Amino acid sequence: MARKPRHDRQSNERELEEFLGALALEGRSPHSVRSYRRDLEALLAALPGPLSDVRPADLRECFRHQQQAGRSPSSINRAIAATRSLCRFLYEEGRLETDPAQALRSIRRGPAPGVRPKLHAPRLGSLSYIGSAKALAT
């Protein structure tokens, strides 16, 4: 059985360029392609090795580190979506044996800082003492 050549950082860069080119051919805006590039270059720089050797746990650790560094949830979720797209592209092109990002999920977002959750006033009928004649008489 022939062994696939080991991917290195230069290979990752070539594959990234091919992916970004495919996005442009699909009609993605130049702004979107720049955003994909920025997020994916940061990811590839933070990975412990070539993309072909990356495990799902490595990807989760990279995004966990970004979260701990204070990066906003929406920015992290955008980078997760870009990572899923890149890995799916490389897997479908036969350049990855498995898709390490397939199980990646977006992080949960809470309310924005300083925003209070909307409180709803209870309906009058939901208060137990309102419905009794004795409570109304007092």
Task: Measure the CA–CA gap between 23 and 132, rounded to whole angstroms.
Answer: 66
The pTM score is 0.72
What values do phi and psi take at 59, rounded to 5?
A: -65, -45
- The yes-or-no verdict on residue 82 having pLDDT over 60 is yes
The residue behind tokens 């003492």 is: 129
Would you state the pLDDT for residue 33? 97
Split at pLDDT 50, 70, 90, the class of 2 is very low
128 phi-psi bin (left φ>0, alpha ψ -120 to 50, beta other): alpha
Would you state the pLDDT for residue 22? 97
Would you state the pLDDT for residue 6? 45
The tokens for 108 are 């949960």
Q: Terminus-to-terminus CA distance in the chain, angstroms? A: 88
| pLDDT tens string 9-39 | 788 899 999 999 999 999 999 999 999 999 9
Mean pLDDT of the chain: 82
Q: What is the mean pLDDT of residues 108-131?
A: 56
- The yes-or-no verdict on residue 86 having pLDDT over 80 is yes
Split at pLDDT 50, 70, 90, the class of 111 is low
User: Looking at domain 9-105, which CATH architecture does it have?
Assistant: Orthogonal Bundle (1.10)
The tokens for 76 are 């992290």
| pLDDT tens string 61-75 | 999 999 999 999 999
Would you state the pLDDT for residue 49? 80
102: Cβ–Cβ under 8 A, 6 or more apart, which residues?
Answer: 56, 84, 87, 88
- The yes-or-no verdict on residue 108 having pLDDT over 50 is yes
The domain ranges of the chain are 9-105
77: Cβ–Cβ under 8 A, 6 or more apart, which residues?
Answer: 106, 107, 109
